[in-house]
Amino acid sequence: MTRSIWKGPFIDPKLLLSISQRTTNTYGRNSVIPPSFVGRIFEIYNGKNFIKVKITEEMVGHKLGEFAPTKLKKK
């Protein structure tokens, strides 16, 4: 089930406050990436460690958790 259109996309308020920093650590994987995040570096927690992700224009509209996989492929 998706979020209602009238509510708008979910963005964690703590992320909006910390956008002035160059690198931001976050545990919230469910926030949608707005255009104001482009060019910023986020360290997204995947359950074990933080993964650095640089936000590009192609990522706008997706969620932060999509770019920090939680499961590794076996080799």
pLDDT tens digit string along 32-56?
A: 999 999 999 999 999 999 999 999 9
The answer to whether residue 64 sits within a structural domain is: yes
Residue 64 to residues 2, 23, 38, 74, 75, Cα–Cα distance (Å): 16, 14, 12, 24, 26
Q: CATH number for the domain including 64?
A: 3.30.860.10
- Please state the domain count of the chain: 1
The answer to whether residue 12 sits within a structural domain is: no
To which H or E segment does residue 17 belong?
Answer: helix 13-17
Residue 3: is its pLDDT beyond 90? Answer: no
Residue 20: is its pLDDT beyond 90? Answer: no
Q: pTM for this one?
A: 0.85
